[in-house]
Amino acid sequence: MHRNDFTTIQKDGTIFLFGGYSDLVQEYTDRIWKYLPESHSWTIEGNMLVNRMNFASALVNGNVFSVGGFYELNHESYDFEIGLSTALDTTLESKLFVELVPFSFLGC
């Protein structure tokens, strides 16, 4: 697996890789990969709604929220319990190279 411009999330001690760009096949991906430490390998966990790179993701209450990236992308949420991504209805414009900051950090 040769990827770049993806995001990573750690959930319950497991590493997940979201989206990115594959140098090998020269395309963006919507895949969500899960790292299996016992075999030092990756397996496909699920899919995002769209191919996405250069975006930000954050884990909140068991859901991964992904925003930004190339093109006019919908923001989305991936639910680990049901293994499904859903579009978020938001007025935020899609941005390239965004950062997600937890609301609690705003008071710092």
Domains in the chain: boundaries? 3-98
User: Per DSSP, what are the bridge partners of residue 77?
Assistant: 65, 86
Output the pTM of the full model: 0.80
- Tell me the pLDDT tens digit for each residue of 47-94: 999 898 888 899 999 999 998 887 666 789 999 999 999 998 766 665
Q: Which two tokens stand for residue 8?
A: 């990573």
What is the CB neighbour count within 10 angstroms for residue 41?
Answer: 11
Burial category of 82 from C-beta neighbours within 10 Å (exposed 0-12, middle 13-18, buried 19 and up): exposed
Plot region of 40 (φ>0 → left; ψ -120 to 50 → alpha; else → beta): left
